[in-house]
Structure 1
Amino acid sequence: MRTQAVNDAKQLVYKKNSGVMSTLSYNLRGYPFGSVTPYMCDEHGKLYFFISDIAQHTKNLVHDKRMSLTIFDAAQTGDQNEHGRVTIVGDGSLVPAEHAEVLLNKYIALYPEADSYRSAHDFNLWQLDPVRIRYIG
């Protein structure tokens, strides 16, 4: 990836706060399943999600860790294809317990409403470990 494209992709990921998480459906074997979800990006570019065990994408990840997150600069008018987008493909995994509390506090500082989720529906912090990144400017 060109240096400018890498910088543009990073900028897009850092400035946005939600994207379309896609997983492989467990119920409809092999079909993609997408849902809009907020994410947190740390200072190293690692992506985290605070998601419920009862959510469909979590159930999918438990059975198949492959996932992607598509982040895009939404067009207010005109052609959406003229705006940047990045898709990060990789493997989802639970954040190890020894790191989860510190990261969760950062997540809640970013999304204060998520504090109430700590005790509801068994929410957990997940991470996306990238395998490939595709950026279209």
Structure 2
Amino acid sequence: MNHDVYPDYYLSDILRSTKTIALVGASPNAERPSHRVMAFLLRKGYTVFPVNPGQAGKEIQGRTVYARLADIPEPIDMVDVFRAADALPALVDEILALAVRPKVIWGQLSVRDDEAAAKAEENGIQVVMDRCPAIEYPRLVG
């Protein structure tokens, strides 16, 4: 897939079909973008599982924080990535090792690695990079 431009229907379909989201790089700091986006996603009715090894076992916005994706107790539809782009290849490997894989990997603004995306897509996972669901949702879903 060309990750320079996404058709609106592609993003809209993802946002409408997703119910559960693992937010990798979740922060307890209310000033951090990941904290604000998590609050937005929760308000829109998504079930959000924060993932941050340094915060594991604590809570962010009333949700238990997990150290790794494999620790989340139920299948997830989408992994929303708030990590540096160079963390994406290892994260894709972690996702591919899951017993039940998510349908989507969504890299936040500036999170892009085309090789990692190709590997995920070769394994049947949709990929969005360098976009924010909190920006795309109001534009496409309402």
Which range, TM-score by smaller chain? under 0.3
TM-score (normalised: structure 2): 0.24
Bigger-Rg structure (1/2): 1
Question: Which is strand-richer, 1 or 2?
Answer: 1
Q: Which has the higher contact order (CA 8 A, sep 6+)?
A: 1
- TM-score computed with the length of structure 1 as normaliser: 0.25
Higher helix share: 2
